[in-house]
Amino acid sequence: MNIIGRVTKDAEVRTLSNSKQVVNFSVATNENYRNKAGEHIEQTTFFDCTYWISPKVADILTKGSLVELTGRISARAWTNNNGEARAGLNFHSSQIKLHGNSKRTETVQANKATAQETENDFPF
């Protein structure tokens, strides 16, 4: 499955107890449509995303970056500290494509080893 959206905050790299590293980030997607009454509806969906292939990609996953992700979706449900039922969507990314400019364009351009242009396919 593919989704296109904007990164909602800078990506973080976590190191697990088995020394594997995972990149965690979130993406918001927008859908616009008109309902039967003709009203304009804008719906935003948030995905908590992971990327396991290389932690280097975290350098370009900055807030506001437009990305296209390929991977799979899973849903999760939990009860928060107040006893309220909550739900969310996870997106397990296998490929990331950066579109356009981000807040840290200089980082992408300076890091020629990981980003040849402002639009690249990953994995590394």
Residue 124 has pLDDT above 70, yes or no: no
Give the residue numbers spanning the domain of 36: 2-122
**Segment 40-88, tens digit of pLDDT:** 999 999 999 999 999 999 999 999 999 999 999 999 999 999 999 999 9
User: What pTM, to 2 d.p., does this model score?
Assistant: 0.74
Look at the chain and report how many structural domains it folds into: 1
For residue 63, the domain's CATH number is 2.40.50.140
In this prediction, residue 121 has a pLDDT band, given cuts at 50, 70 and 90, of: low
What is the dihedral angle through the alpha carbons of 22, 107, 99, 54, rounded to the nearest 10 degrees? -20
Q: What is the pLDDT of residues 86-107, one digit of tens each?
A: 999 999 999 999 997 655 443 3
Say if strands 40-51 and 85-99 run parallel, antiparallel, or are unpaired: parallel
**48-61 burial, b for 16+ CB within 10 Å, e for fewer?**
bbebebebbbbbbb
CA distance 111 to 115: 6
